[in-house]
Amino acid sequence: MQLMDYKKTNNVLGWATFVISTLVYVLTLEPTASYWDCGEFIAAAYKMQIVHQPGAPLFLMLQNIFSNLAFGHKESLAYWMNFGSAVSSGLTIMFLFWTITALARKVLWKNNSELTQGNLIQIMGAGIVGALAYTFSDTFWFSAVESEVYAMSSLCTAIVFWAILKWEAHADEPRADKWLLLIAYVMGLSIGVHLLNLLTIPALALVVYFKRTKTPTNGGVFKTVIIGCIIVAFVLWGIIQYLIKFAAYFDLFFVNSLGMGFGSGVVFFILLLVGGLIYGLFYSIKKIKPRLNLILLAICFIIFGYGSFAMILVRAKADPSLNNSDPDNAFSFLSYLNREQYGEEPLFKGPYFTSKVVDRSEGGNTYIKGDEKYENIGKKYSYVYDRETVFPRIYSNDAGRGHPQFYRSWLNLGENEQPTFGNNMSFFFTYQVGHMYARYFFWNFVGRQNDEKGDGSFTEGNWITGVKPIDQARLGGQDALPDSLKSDPSNNKFYGLPLILGIIGALWHFKRHQKDAGIVALLFFFTGLAIVLYLNQSPLQPRERDYAYAGSFYAFAIWIGLGVIGVADMLQKKMNPKTAGIAATLISLLAAPVLMAKDGWDDHDRSTKYVARDLAKDYLESCAPNAILFTYGDNDTYPLWYVQEVENFRPDVRIVNLSLLSADWYVRQMKDKVNEAEGLPITMKDSQYKQGTRDGLSYMDAGLKQSIELGSILDVLLSDNPNDQVEYQDGSRSNYLFTKNFKLTVNKAEVLANKVVPAKWDANIVDTMVWKYNKDYVSKAELAMFDILVHNHWKRPIYFATTVPNSNYLGLDNYLINEGFALRLMPVNFNRTEEQQRMGESVNVDALYDNTMNKFVWGNMAHARYLDHESYGMLSLIINNFSTLSQTLYEEGRTDDAKKVLNRCLEVIPKRIYTLGESRVLYFLCRQLYQAGMTDKANALLEQNGKYVDQLLRYYIAIAQTKPNLEMQNIQVGTQVIYSSAELAKEYKQDKQAKAMEASLNEIEKLFGGIQQ
């Protein structure tokens, strides 16, 4: 076969994989914004705003181009940005195809030899199988259908790995090094998307070494890998961070020492850098130093690509409504790139989670932009601990997130037992490598049990094979697998066939071309286990982190493709090469991409789901006009930003993220008007809350028993009077909180004029709100909230999203009234007993009824083909809201309205039960159904819920027989649901249901008793 024919076939099939994969992703695309960062990215891309650190400017600019396909239809903007991810993902698959065929061709079609039809079939079959296997891989497919950076980041990785093979193929030709410069430029561009692409550099360095060295040695390979790592470090720190750091300190000198304007030092440094690079290039040409010339050109191209970050500075200067960190000067931009907002994890040396702080070491100065100069706000400090270890893996002492408890549970440590280095390494291998990498790897190529977020439980988010003996040996209780797991869309059984095919491909590759196999292995390692080493993740992550390892799964997909040739080699012993190639391709297609598509389609088809967008609207609709809404996490903030910024929905509500409110830039921005929402009534001067000032004020009890006016407390906290401050041993002074007994005098005329409370509650308005503050410190977030409470004068409604942790309520729990997905602050007192307070917040039944029945939308949850974990995780909150409303209506004698609410609930929630947590709130819904006289529906739901919990309990107990420390809490919760359901059925004289529940309970108790014995 002629080379031209090969190229034509290769190109046509490569583009065919692009069309197929892109079509798959478009068909399964989420039609609007999804959870996590997508809402923020879409909003920021639409208006060219600044996202969370360290930014993704190139991604935002390219997504903005895709947004134009909406032709002004704002509700379609998210779809077309998601479409941008689908196209990026399809292009990734195409470059993967060409990468696999290039690697296969090097083995099967030697130079000057004849390419047989059999070899052509094997090469193209390998490309098709490997590319389509990655198309349908769980992790890549998930990112392909939403507007996130990982699809475009994967495209950058695919391009650079394909380009290095192109360079290798043409390296002996004139001007071949243009491919290396292309790689440098794409890497520079990729910095503006995501940094993961840089981890391909060691593998690329190895390609260059093998091509340029006639007799490679093990020592040479090792040195090349080290050089590759040094290059990664040079780009990651030398270019990305230190160029900006040098620019910042040049600016510091020019501004503070020479008295010039802000930015003058940056301009001088840029001119110096450009001049130095130009001089170096001319020098390399004049002295005929081609290697130096290539290195300098590569640096130039990386910097050119990195230049996309200029968008961050330009747009920050424009003060857009989303302006994270406000990086409008050299030092704030440096902090932004360094992700200082998120802190650092110890890598080489650090504490155990039980270690105590004994000292602190002083670092460099911290500078912020002042009115005329940069201000030194103090030193950076790091802590010194009594017990430290090399390679720390169990380091987090964050009790609020449950880290110490989790470490002890995972490692079977006693309550006061000190961890050892052995425990440290055990956690690394079993949790960080096993649970947070290998589990994800097996999801993609072996099978997945379900999509519940896994924190170590054997019933949540684990991998399975579909081969019963193997799964039984691993998990236990497979015979008792509940229907809910069998029918779970994310219960994917691949029988390990893609894994086996990849192993065959890897073995074939190492046998036939060890150098290339080593290069793929290096890519596999650096985009997989090396990330595990670098991230050093603490436990109980808020979401699954498999997206970080997509590059590693990409590398393994290359071997899945090459597995076709390995299978063909086996078949050639009994048939001719052409037939063997066809048979191997068909077998491999069925074993990997077809099987992965069949089982994976239903849990990746998000085309009918609108949950994130619709519930975001519900949060906002819960608020009265011109409200202030406090939120806390990503998923109760980013979708709300999206619907406001993009769809212009309820732009009158001012969203305040409490996780960001401790940052001075965010407090400053909250004082300005955004869209139709006025600035917050914050009276603090910028100097009173700037970084380094009042970052955290401690509580020191002054012994005051009476409640103190909040305004007076705020005055003391903001006072510069030394008498209002405490002096520490190092000579520093700080304000402090002297009491937790707060009160806020209420002007009833203001409350009535602003219609803060329903008219029927006017008699319940208090003269003074009295409460106990619930924290031992005051951060800038609490300072700002105090300021708002004191100076709002009830002009604007104040709400807390229901997903805000109680600890952020400031202790105002008794004054928060349920109006839907938000709790409204009202100065009312209903003299509720402690039991009533424990059962939940008070309810504004009229507002909640109107919101629920007339305003709220439900994301098509009842009819969506698939709900992801974050979406069905909202069901407990939704059902609880319906249940609370119907209970309150019933207690007020509005039975007909209660029935309407219950019917609406049954209409909008899915028929399927997703989690044990959901089953707990369904029990209360059953109670309301019985109360309202809807006995048939109550019985049906009670029976469905009972069957679900019964089967789940049998599964838990079967696992606990071999792993007694697992699932005990779930067993106790489930047993309580069955018991309560039996009592409920007896209470309403439903004998059939009561007997069924009691029989279930007796059987469960027998099984559970067997374990305890």
Please report the sign of the dihedral spanned by the C-alpha atoms of residue 222, residue 227, residue 232, residue 237. positive
Residue 354, classed as helix, strand or coil, is coil
Instruction: State the Cα–Cα distance between residues 489 and 85, nearest whole angstrom.
Output: 23
pLDDT tens-digit series, residues 181-220: 999 999 999 999 999 999 999 999 999 999 999 899 999 9
CA angle 39, 43, 49 (to 5 degrees): 130
CB 270 within 8 A of CB 154: no
CB 380 within 8 A of CB 366: yes
pLDDT in the model for residue 724:
87
Q: Residue 632's CB: how many other CB atoms inside 10 A?
A: 20
Q: Is the pLDDT score of 295 beyond 60?
A: yes
Please report the sign of the dihedral spanned by the C-alpha atoms of residue 753, residue 757, residue 758, residue 760. negative
Identify the DSSP state of 12. H
Write the CB contacts of 422 (distance below 8 Å, at least 6 apart in sequence).
Answer: none
Instruction: State the Cα–Cα distance between residues 808 and 810, nearest whole angstrom.
Output: 5
Helix axes 916-931, 935-962, angle to 10 degrees: 160
CA distances 1005 to 67, 440, 983, 1011, 1013, Å, are 58, 35, 16, 10, 12
pLDDT in the model for residue 401:
87
Please give the full DSSP string across 916-940, using - where no structure is assigned: HHHHHHHHHHHHHHHHTT-HHHHHH
Write the CB contacts of 222 (distance below 8 Å, at least 6 apart in sequence).
Answer: none
Nearest of 549, 506, 556 to residue 528 by alpha carbon: 549
- The residue among 342 and 866 whose pLDDT is bigger is 866
Nearest of 946, 937, 1007 to residue 981 by alpha carbon: 946
Q: Residue 280's CB: how many other CB atoms inside 10 A?
A: 18
Write the CB contacts of 284 (distance below 8 Å, at least 6 apart in sequence).
Answer: 290, 292, 293, 296
Residue at token pair 């503006």: 192
pLDDT tens-digit series, residues 469-479: 887 776 654 55
Q: Is the pLDDT score of 504 beyond 90?
A: yes
CB 157 within 8 A of CB 49: no
Nearest of 705, 706, 707, 704 to residue 770 by alpha carbon: 707
What is the CA 946 to chain-centroid distance, rounded?
34
Q: Would you put residue 811 in left (φ > 0), alpha (ψ -120 to 50) or beta?
A: left
Q: Average pLDDT, whole number, for the chain?
A: 92
pLDDT in the model for residue 1005:
86
Write the CB contacts of 92 (distance below 8 Å, at least 6 apart in sequence).
Answer: 134, 140, 151, 154, 155, 157, 158, 554
Share of the chain above pLDDT 70, in %: 97
pLDDT tens-digit series, residues 837-859: 555 678 999 999 999 999 999 99
- Residue 896: exposed, middle, or buried by beta-carbon count in 10 A (0-12, 13-18, 19+)? exposed
Residue 57, classed as helix, strand or coil, is helix
Cα-only R_g, the chain: 31
pLDDT grade, residue 733 (50/70/90)? Answer: confident
pLDDT in the model for residue 960:
76
pLDDT grade, residue 331 (50/70/90)? Answer: very high
Q: Is the pLDDT score of 559 beyond 60?
A: yes
pLDDT tens-digit series, residues 241-265: 999 999 999 999 999 999 999 999 9
Share of the chain above pLDDT 90, in %: 81
pLDDT tens-digit series, residues 62-101: 999 999 999 999 999 999 999 999 999 999 999 999 999 9
Q: Are strands 696-698 and 708-709 parallel, antiparallel or unpaired?
A: unpaired
pLDDT tens-digit series, residues 389-411: 999 999 999 988 899 999 998 99
The token pair that represents 199 in the structure block: 């981890």
Residue 364, CB half-sphere, CA atoms under 13 Å: how many? 4
Q: Is the pLDDT score of 836 beyond 60?
A: no
pLDDT grade, residue 418 (50/70/90)? Answer: very high
Average pLDDT, stretch 533-558? 94
pLDDT tens-digit series, residues 594-617: 999 999 999 999 999 999 999 999
Letter for the amino acid at 457? S
What is the CA 200 to chain-centroid distance, rounded?
23
pLDDT in the model for residue 838:
54
pLDDT in the model for residue 842:
87
pLDDT in the model for residue 833:
56
Instruction: State the Cα–Cα distance between residues 333 and 527, nearest whole angstrom.
Output: 27
Residue 13, CB half-sphere, CA atoms under 13 Å: how many? 24
pLDDT grade, residue 371 (50/70/90)? Answer: confident
pLDDT in the model for residue 475:
61
Identify the DSSP state of 573. T
Task: Spell out the SS3 assignment of 65-91.
Answer: HHHHHHCCCHHHHHHHHHHHHHHHHHH
Nearest of 158, 982, 103 to residue 554 by alpha carbon: 158
The token pair that represents 646 in the structure block: 């993009």
Which helix (H) or strand (E) segment holds residue 631: the answer is: strand 628-631
Which helix (H) or strand (E) segment holds residue 383: the answer is: strand 374-385
Helix axes 991-1012, 935-962, angle to 10 degrees: 10
Instruction: State the Cα–Cα distance between residues 201 and 866, nearest whole angstrom.
Output: 38
Residue 822, classed as helix, strand or coil, is strand
The token pair that represents 48 in the structure block: 């060219």
List the end-to-end C-alpha distance of the chain, in Å, as a whole number: 73
Residue 425, classed as helix, strand or coil, is helix
Residue at token pair 């309150």: 888
Residue at token pair 């077998």: 587
pLDDT grade, residue 534 (50/70/90)? Answer: very high
Please report the sign of the dihedral spanned by the C-alpha atoms of residue 846, residue 785, residue 343, residue 417. negative
Which of 100-114, 456-470, 804-818 is least confident?
A: 456-470
Average pLDDT, stretch 876-905? 95
Per DSSP, the chain holds a count of helices (H) and strands (E) of 42, 19
Helix axes 3-27, 117-135, angle to 10 degrees: 20
Please give the full DSSP string across 138-178, using - where no structure is assigned: HHHHHHHTSS-HHHHHHHHHHHHHHHHHHHHHHTTSTTTTH
Nearest of 300, 329, 330 to residue 317 by alpha carbon: 329
Choose the most confident range, by mean pLDDT, from 361-375, 800-814, 829-843, 959-973.
800-814
pTM of the model: 0.93
pLDDT grade, residue 732 (50/70/90)? Answer: confident
pLDDT tens-digit series, residues 770-797: 999 999 999 999 999 999 999 999 999 9
Instruction: State the Cα–Cα distance between residues 935 and 920, nearest whole angstrom.
Output: 19
pLDDT tens-digit series, residues 926-946: 999 999 999 999 999 999 999
pLDDT tens-digit series, residues 668-683: 999 999 999 999 999 9
pLDDT in the model for residue 421:
95
pLDDT in the model for residue 963:
65
Q: Is the pLDDT score of 19 beyond 80?
A: yes
Write the CB contacts of 555 (distance below 8 Å, at least 6 apart in sequence).
Answer: 520, 521, 523, 524, 527, 528
CA distances 1011 to 908, 916, 951, 972, Å, are 40, 21, 17, 13
The token pair that represents 136 in the structure block: 């349908």
The token pair that represents 569 in the structure block: 């080699």
Q: What is the largest CA-CA distance in the chain?
A: 98
Letter for the amino acid at 442? F
Sketch the domain layout of the chain as residue ranges. 3-312+495-600, 611-845
The token pair that represents 656 in the structure block: 């305040």
Please give the full DSSP string across 693-746, using - where no structure is assigned: SSSEEEB------S-EEHHHHHHHHT---GGGEEE-TTS-EEE-B--SEEEEE-
Instruction: State the Cα–Cα distance between residues 79 and 537, nearest whole angstrom.
Output: 33
Write the CB contacts of 1010 (distance below 8 Å, at least 6 apart in sequence).
Answer: 961
Which of 155-169, 270-284, 415-429, 950-964 is least confident?
A: 950-964
